[in-house]
Every structure is written in structure tokens, then in C-alpha cells.
């Protein structure tokens, strides 16, 4: 197209020149023709360079989103951690605040069979790297791929569901405990068959450092994580069912000869009992999970689609006496081993193309070996062993393709302990009733 425009312009200029000098025409010399040909060749070379530059730019995709919000909780300076799983702990002397929860920008260079991705988070409290990886797909079957760098660990469904698309402000307490930051540094294999009966199957399996996205490796152990998913469409029923199974096999290095595990020392009450075998030093403490997830998409109601989503995870979790969260750095003290389980369930109902109502219920039982009767003065159980449930109610309105507003309220309930078994001065005594740690979040998100 550009060539035609240039030629037409030159012809028009030539005709104008010939008309203007019709009474005294001058012959076109060979040298003049050579000059025109040279100019055209130069334009062709410039156009080729310009086209290559444009083609390269087309492969670069820039996206991002900003989440600014207002949060409020029940009490100031309560003796327990308020809202830790609802966007972060509240500052001292504050029970409400404005914050920039996420400010992401992502660069993706997509060269069909290869990809380069980098994503960063810019918020008022600092900068952090979120994704930095390269991916390659096989050129023959386009079924097998390799990805290496920092990216979401392949476990379950909620981890890989982007925070910009998720219907709730935060992930469940279960996944925030097991996978803080969601990501890790490692490599994975991707299998996505393009033909045959397995076209609806996807396998992601990888090897990771096991210490999260922002920490260097601290031991010789590597963690294996994988997720196998299968989609079952029901076209006649206008529905789809997605099923998945996940596994995680890892270890945490013990920096001490003291390793705690649940047992009954002969008193009829379970507590953490220490094993001080000398060989415990530097040994690997088991970190294993198994998970199941399912999503059902229905489009049968006249006013909008319906989503039912759920996930269950159980396993062995190494932590400390005071924390059940996955360890994100080198361990310097004693490790406490726990068996756990947890789950969440969503109901999302669309109303037209601009409105959604969300109902979510999640449960985390961080220590399945204990009961309420085991929490008493004189044992070494802590808040990290208390079970929690969270009921979330939300409304989402999309102003346009870029902006959505979320109003979400979380009713957080703890396992209620027996006050007759605990001293009033105990750190566990506030949990003899439901502590006031509910959280309201009002968020506006801009996505491009």
C-alpha cells in the first residue's frame, strides 16, 4: 500500500511538472531516471526496516491492573492478628485504612513457540518481582512445553487464578497458608495434547526451590509440584465440568536436632512432643500435600451464568510452634510437624454482563490431631493450631471493560476453646469466644 502511494505521488508530481512546462517540454535524461529509481529503492529498504520493527512490536503485549481499596475491621489493638488473611494486617491504632493492594504491570513477548514474561508489583509499601520466566513449546506437535523462572506453582486451581479475575479480594486462608506469594523459582514441563481423545487434558509438573518467589535456595532439597486437569464439556446442556488433582512432595531442612510432633505423652491430652535425636540435624522434614479441585460452569438461567467451584487439600505441613505457614526462608529454630486439611467452595452468579454476586466458604484445620480439649494451660499448643472458617459475601459491578467495583465482607470464625481449661492470662484465652476479626473490603480495579 505504501509503495502505491509513493508511486502515485511521483507520477502526479511528474504530470504537474509536464503540464506546467507544456510549452517548453524538456526530455527526461537517463541520469534523472536513475535518481528516481535510486530514491524508490531507498524507500523500499526503509519500508522493509519499518515493517520488521512493526512486526517485532506486535509480539510485545503489555497488560496490567491496579487495585485500590478501603478496608475496615472490628477492633483497634486487639490481642489477636486482625485481618491477616484479608489483605494484610492492620497497622497499630488503626481499624480502617486506604491502600493500594496490587499495582501490576506485565510484559509478554510472544514469538508463537517461545515466550518471555516479566511482571512486577508496584504499591505504596514497595516493589516486588512477581513473574520472570521463559517458555518454549515443541515445534512438531505443539503439545510439550518447558517453562523456567519465577511463576505460579502448579497446584490446584486458585493459585493460578489471577487476582485480577478472581471474584474475591484474596485467596482462601488455606492457600495463603500453604503457598504464601503463590509463586516459586524453578522449572516445569507442560503437556497439552492438540489432537485425539486427550485434547481436553493438561498436565503441569515442575521442580522448585520450595522457599517462595523472593528467596534464594537455602538447602539441597527440591520440591516437586504438579497439577493434572481435564475439561468435560456438556454442549447440549450448555455446561462444562473441569476436574483436577494435585500433588506436592517436598522437604524442609531442620536447623536443629529438636523436631516436634503431636503425641499423647501419657496424660490423656495431646501436645507437641520433642524428638532430639542427633541425626535430626540437617535432615529433611516432610512437606506433602494432595489436592482435588472442580469447577462447574452453567449457563441455564435466563439472567446469567453460574459458577460452582471447590477445592480440598490435605497433607503434612512443617512449621514452627507459633506458625503453621510454609517456611519462606532458612529455618533457624525448631520445626513443628502438623497434619492438616482444608477446603473452600464458591458460588458465583452473574446477572447480565455487568453484575455478579459471590458466596464463598473456606475452612482451614491446621492441626487435625487435636481437639478443643487439648487446648489447655500447660500444653504447648498455640494459635497456629486453631481451626478457622471464613464466610465471604460479595457484590461485583463492571462499569466497563476496564473497571470493576467490589464490595466484599468476610465473617471469620475461630474454633472456640474451653475457658475452664485456660488461664485468663493465656494467649489462647481470647479464643474461648469468636474474636472480632471480620473484615470489609471495598475495592476499585482498573485493568488493561
Render pLDDT for 319-356 as a digit per residue (tens, 0 to 9): 999 999 998 888 889 999 999 999 999 999 999 999 99
- pLDDT band for position 15 (50/70/90)? very low
CB 84 within 8 A of CB 102: no
Element (H, E) at 32: helix 30-58
CA distance 327 to 320: 9
pLDDT at 5 exceeding the cut of 60: no
CA distance 168 to 151: 21
CA distance 284 to 251: 5
pLDDT at 74 exceeding the cut of 50: yes
Q: What percent of the chain has pLDDT over 70?
A: 88
Q: What percent of the chain has pLDDT over 90?
A: 77
pLDDT for 347 equals 98
Q: Cα 209–210–213 angle (5° rounding)?
A: 80
Angle of helix 30-58 relative to helix 2-20, nearest 10 degrees?
150
pLDDT for 42 equals 65
30, 32, 37, 39 alpha-carbon torsion, rounded to 10°: 160
Cell of 179: 503457598
Cell of 324: 503453621
CB 213 within 8 A of CB 183: yes
Specify the range with the lowest mean pLDDT, choosing from 326-330, 357-361, 415-419: 326-330
- pLDDT band for position 41 (50/70/90)? low
- pLDDT band for position 50 (50/70/90)? low
pLDDT for 212 equals 85
Looking up cell 487495585 gives: 67
Looking up cell 488503626 gives: 94
Q: How many CA atoms lie within 13 A of 75 on its CB side?
A: 10
Model pTM? Answer: 0.87
Amino acid at each position: 500500500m505504501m509503495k502505491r502511494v509513493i508511486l502515485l505521488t511521483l507520477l502526479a508530481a511528474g504530470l504537474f511538472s509536464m503540464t506546467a512546462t507544456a510549452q517548453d517540454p524538456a526530455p527526461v535524461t537517463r541520469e534523472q531516471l536513475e535518481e528516481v529509481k535510486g530514491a524508490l529503492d531507498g524507500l523500499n529498504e526503509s519500508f522493509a526496516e519499518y515493517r520488521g520493527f512493526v512486526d517485532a512490536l506486535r509480539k510485545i503485549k503489555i497488560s496490567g491492573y491496579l487495585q485500590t481499596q478501603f478496608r475496615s475491621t472490628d477492633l483497634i489493638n486487639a490481642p489477636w492478628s486482625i485481618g491477616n488473611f484479608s489483605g494484610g494486617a492492620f497497622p497499630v491504632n488503626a481499624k480502617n485504612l486506604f491502600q493500594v493492594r496490587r499495582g501490576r504491570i506485565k510484559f509478554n513477548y510472544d514469538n508463537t513457540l517461545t515466550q518471555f514474561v516479566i511482571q512486577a508489583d508496584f504499591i505504596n509499601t514497595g516493589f516486588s518481582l512477581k513473574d520472570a520466566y521463559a517458555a518454549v513449546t515443541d515445534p512438531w506437535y505443539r503439545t510439550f512445553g518447558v517453562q523456567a523462572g519465577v511463576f505460579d506453582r502448579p497446584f490446584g486451581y486458585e493459585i493460578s487464578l489471577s487476582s485480577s479475575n478472581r471474584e474475591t479480594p484474596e485467596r482462601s486462608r488455606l492457600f495463603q497458608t500453604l503457598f504464601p506469594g503463590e509463586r516459586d523459582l524453578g522449572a516445569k514441563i507442560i503437556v497439552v495434547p492438540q489432537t485425539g481423545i486427550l485434547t481436553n487434558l493438561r498436565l503441569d509438573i515442575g521442580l522448585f526451590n520450595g522457599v517462595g518467589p523472593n528467596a534464594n535456595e537455602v538447602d539441597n532439597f527440591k520440591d516437586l509440584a504438579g497439577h493434572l486437569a481435564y475439561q468435560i464439556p456438556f454442549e447440549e446442556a450448555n455446561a462444562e465440568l473441569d476436574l483436577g488433582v494435585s500433588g506436592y512432595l517436598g522437604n524442609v531442612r531442620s536447623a536443629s536436632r529438636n523436631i516436634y510432633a503431636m503425641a499423647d505423652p501419657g496424660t490423656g491430652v495431646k501436645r507437641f512432643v520433642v524428638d532430639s535425636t542427633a541425626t535430626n540435624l540437617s535432615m529433611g522434614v516432610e512437606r506433602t500435600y494432595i489436592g482435588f479441585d472442580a469447577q462447574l460452569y452453567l449457563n441455564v438461567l435466563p439472567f446469567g451464568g453460574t459458577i460452582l467451584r471447590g477445592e480440598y487439600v490435605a497433607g503434612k505441613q512443617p512449621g514452627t510452634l507459633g506458625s503453621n505457614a510454609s517456611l519462606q526462608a532458612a529455618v533457624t529454630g525448631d520445626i513443628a510437624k502438623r497434619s492438616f486439611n482444608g477446603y473452600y467452595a464458591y458460588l458465583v452468579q452473574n446477572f447480565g454482563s455487568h453484575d455478579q454476586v459471590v458466596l464463598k466458604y473456606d475452612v482451614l484445620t491446621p492441626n487435625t490431631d487435636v481437639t478443643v480439649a487439648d487446648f489447655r494451660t500447660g500444653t504447648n499448643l498455640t494459635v497456629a493450631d486453631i481451626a478457622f472458617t471464613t464466610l465471604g459475601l460479595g457484590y461485583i459491578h463492571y462499569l466497563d471493560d476496564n473497571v470493576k467495583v467490589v464490595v466484599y465482607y468476610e465473617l471469620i470464625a475461630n474454633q472456640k476453646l474451653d475457658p475452664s481449661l485456660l488461664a485468663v492470662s493465656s494467649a489462647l484465652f481470647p479464643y474461648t469466644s469468636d474474636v472480632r476479626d471480620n473484615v470489609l473490603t471495598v475495592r476499585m480495579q482498573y485493568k488493561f
